[in-house]
């Protein structure tokens, strides 16, 4: 079943994507794309916004990267790593670094730079904050015994080790630069990527030109790129429609897709994929009656997810009914098994009858009122919130929505100032370690806004994270999922986001993946005219 789902996912992407093998890439031209957000600084080790990845990834290399031609966005290939080996005890990863790589300032790249870059992320200098350090708790040390060898030692086997080393945020920086000033990369750009930085006009654009010394012969195809910052959705669409830009790499809404198709016809190509992002509903375990799992289960049972998918996919960027993993991917629960989880059954009348029974049993009376706090972002937060309110009213709950300004949103929910709130989870790779981390007990995970403690869940996380056997890991992920969304119903999953990319016809060699954080080095992208 999983294979069928994976094949369907592949077909969906391939069927809509531009042709691959039958076209000879053409050299030259400048790719112009719009970016809805702008990087606060240039340091990818520090920032969190895709607004950094899209315009800056072309200047850098990674140790490993996601194969830019893999539609699942999960095949890991070497970037500055030529090859690697894993020890029998799964505790040591040894990477051979490619020869002949140079930074844009002319300095050669060696294993020492790889070590310094990962030390900057995992073991930052005193006074330097690393917001991703927590993802690398399994990593004990990074060493560079010689110029071409980087060795990563782990404290315990980590199933996600390679995925973590393929993070699109882990730009390889120069060891010398970092030694002189650990904050140098916040304000400067010097990588080994396919493009060389030309200029950044704040609020306007970032410009890059081809790196003639790029380590992959014949690449990049483009002469350069221009990333233009356009905040407004309508202005982004107008820019593509008017030929001022060729693409926006994050994603557009269904309405915008149709608008462009109608206006441009064959001039626009559409690629679609499930998106490794989802809205989750946090039910505050510190507030009554949401400390009662019967109430939480009732809330999830009340939702007709299949109808929700059908209705909302027409108007916003959600589509698939899913568990804790993107449908069709390696550890995703097959649809038939998913239907056995609370709130995923096809018989909605039965589910709602059960929800009413649980609410009665928990002492929640008809017309019980609570507030759903939602983030003030149109897509998909607001339609998702409105739909949920309607579903909960059908089991006798009186729910109102309070929209919180995005800037105040995280302060509100991190402080626990809510009963029920719309939360979200987004990953750069479909990988259980990355996708499930936030759902561990509060205290273990600082992003668990539902504020529960569940040692069983934490143990299941550890089991899947340290499993060296894929089948065992799959079982642990499935058990984690059942406990999270069914047995304890700590969190409530809504729908998987759906990514839609509308690009001008001449843009070739770029393939959609479930993440808007990967596949942005642009070395394999070319323009047909």
Residues that bind another protein (CB under 8 A): 34, 40-41, 46-49, 127-135, 186-187, 201-205, 228-232, 234-235, 238-239, 241-245, 263, 405-412, 414, 425-426, 434, 437-438, 445-447
Cα–Cα distance list, 65 to 214, 313, 424, 451 (Å): 16, 31, 25, 34
Minimum Å distance from CB 78 to another protein? 25
* Choice between 356 and 490, CB closer to another protein: 490
Report which secondary-structure segment, H or E, holds 248. strand 247-248
Contact 100, 215 (CB under 8 A): yes
* Choice between 7 and 201, CB closer to another protein: 201
* Choice between 96 and 209, CB closer to another protein: 209
Tokens of 155: 């404290």
Minimum Å distance from CB 348 to another protein? 31
CA angle, corner 517, sides to 516 and 519, nearest 5? 90
Distance CA 257, CA 460 (A): 40
Distance CA 484, CA 490 (A): 5
What secondary structure letter does DSSP report for 261? H
Minimum Å distance from CB 227 to another protein? 11
* Choice between 1 and 125, CB closer to another protein: 125
Residue 88, phi then psi, degrees to nearest 5: -60, -35
* Choice between 67 and 276, CB closer to another protein: 276
Minimum Å distance from CB 416 to another protein? 14
What secondary structure letter does DSSP report for 253? -
**Which three-class secondary structure string do you get for 347-416?**
CHHHHHHHHHHHHHHCCCCCCEEEEEEEECCCCCHHHHHHHHHHHHHCCCEEEEEEEECHHHHHHHHHCC
Minimum Å distance from CB 232 to another protein? 4
Minimum Å distance from CB 231 to another protein? 6
Minimum Å distance from CB 86 to another protein? 24
Going by DSSP bridges, is the β-strand pair 247-248/30-35 parallel, antiparallel, or unpaired? parallel
Minimum Å distance from CB 317 to another protein? 16
What is the DSSP secondary-structure string of 37-106?
S--SSS-TTT---HHHHHHHGGG---SEEE-TT-TTS--EEESSEEEEEE-TTS-EEEEEEPTT-B-TTS
* Choice between 322 and 413, CB closer to another protein: 413
* Choice between 51 and 323, CB closer to another protein: 51
Contact 39, 49 (CB under 8 A): yes
* Choice between 434 and 460, CB closer to another protein: 434
* Choice between 101 and 322, CB closer to another protein: 322
Tokens of 23: 């076209």
In DSSP terms, which residues pair with 205 in a beta bridge?
A: 201, 228
What secondary structure letter does DSSP report for 18? P
512, 508, 18, 504: which is closest to 265 by C-alpha?
504
Contact 163, 139 (CB under 8 A): no
Minimum Å distance from CB 336 to another protein? 29
Contacts of 51 (CB under 8 A, 6+ apart): 35, 36, 37, 38, 39, 229
Tell me how many helices (H) and strands (E) the chain has.
17, 19
* Choice between 162 and 447, CB closer to another protein: 447
Minimum Å distance from CB 447 to another protein? 4
Peptide bond into 144 cis (omega under 30): no
Tokens of 497: 């986001």
Torsion of CA 138, 143, 149, 155, to 10 degrees: -20
Minimum Å distance from CB 449 to another protein? 10
* Choice between 415 and 471, CB closer to another protein: 415
Minimum Å distance from CB 419 to another protein? 17
* Choice between 17 and 230, CB closer to another protein: 230
């Amino acid at each position: 079943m999983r294979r069928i789902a994976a094949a369907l996912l592949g077909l969906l992407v391939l069927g809509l994507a531009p042709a691959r093998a039958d076209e000879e890439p053409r050299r030259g031209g400048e790719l112009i794309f719009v970016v809805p957000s702008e990087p606060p600084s240039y340091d990818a080790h520090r920032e969190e916004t895709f607004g950094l990845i899209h315009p800056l990834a072309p200047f850098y290399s990674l140790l490993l990267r996601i194969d830019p031609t893999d539609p699942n966005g999960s095949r890991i290939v070497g970037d500055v790593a030529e090859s690697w080996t894993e020890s029998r005890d799964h505790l040591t990863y040894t990477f051979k670094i490619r020869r002949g790589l140079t930074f844009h300032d002319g300095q050669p790249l060696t294993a020492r730079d790889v070590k310094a870059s990962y030390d900057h992320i995992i073991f930052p200098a005193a006074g330097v904050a690393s917001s991703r350090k927590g993802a690398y708790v399994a990593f004990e040390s990074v060493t560079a015994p010689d110029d071409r060898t980087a060795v990563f030692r782990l404290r315990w086997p980590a199933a996600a080790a390679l995925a973590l080393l393929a993070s699109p945020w882990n730009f390889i920086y120069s060891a010398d630069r970092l030694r002189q000033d650990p904050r140098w990369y916040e304000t400067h750009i010097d990588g080994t990527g396919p493009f060389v930085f030309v200029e950044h006009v704040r609020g306007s654009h970032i410009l890059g030109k081809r790196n003639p010394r790029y380590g992959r012969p014949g690449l990049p195809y483009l002469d350069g790129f221009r990333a233009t910052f356009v905040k407004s959705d309508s202005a982004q669409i107008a820019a593509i429609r008017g030929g001022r830009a060729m693409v926006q790499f994050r994603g557009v809404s269904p309405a915008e897709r149709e608008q462009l198709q109608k206006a441009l016809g064959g001039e626009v190509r559409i690629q679609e994929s499930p998106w490794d992002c989802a809205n989750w509903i946090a039910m505050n375990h510190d507030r009554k009656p949401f400390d009662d799992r019967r109430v939480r289960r009732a809330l999830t049972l009340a939702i007709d997810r299949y109808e929700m998918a059908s209705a909302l996919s027409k108007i916003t960027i959600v589509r698939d009914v899913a568990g804790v993993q993107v449908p069709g991917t390696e550890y995703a629960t097959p649809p038939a098994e998913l239907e056995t989880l609370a709130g995923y059954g096809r018989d909605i009348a039965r589910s709602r009858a059960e929800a009413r029974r649980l609410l009665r049993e928990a002492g929640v009376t008809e017309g019980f009122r609570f507030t759903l706090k939602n983030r003030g972002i149109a897509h998909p937060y607001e339609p998702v919130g409105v739909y949920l309110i309607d579903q909960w009213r059908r089991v006798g709950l009186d729910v109102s929505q309070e929209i919180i300004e995005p800037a105040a949103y995280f302060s509100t929910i991190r402080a626990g100032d809510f009963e029920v709130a719309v939360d979200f989870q987004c990953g750069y790779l479909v990988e259980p370690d990355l996708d499930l981390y936030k759902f561990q007990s509060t205290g273990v995970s600082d992003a668990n806004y539902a504020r529960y403690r569940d040692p069983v869940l934490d143990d299941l996380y550890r089991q899947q994270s340290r499993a060296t056997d894929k089948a065992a890991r799959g079982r642990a992920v499935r058990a984690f999922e059942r406990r999270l969304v069914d047995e304890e119903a700590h969190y409530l999953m809504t729908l998987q986001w759906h990514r839609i990319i509308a690009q001008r016809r001449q843009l070739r060699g770029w393939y959609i993946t479930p993440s808007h954080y990967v596949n942005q080095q642009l070395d394999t992208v070319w323009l047909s005219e």
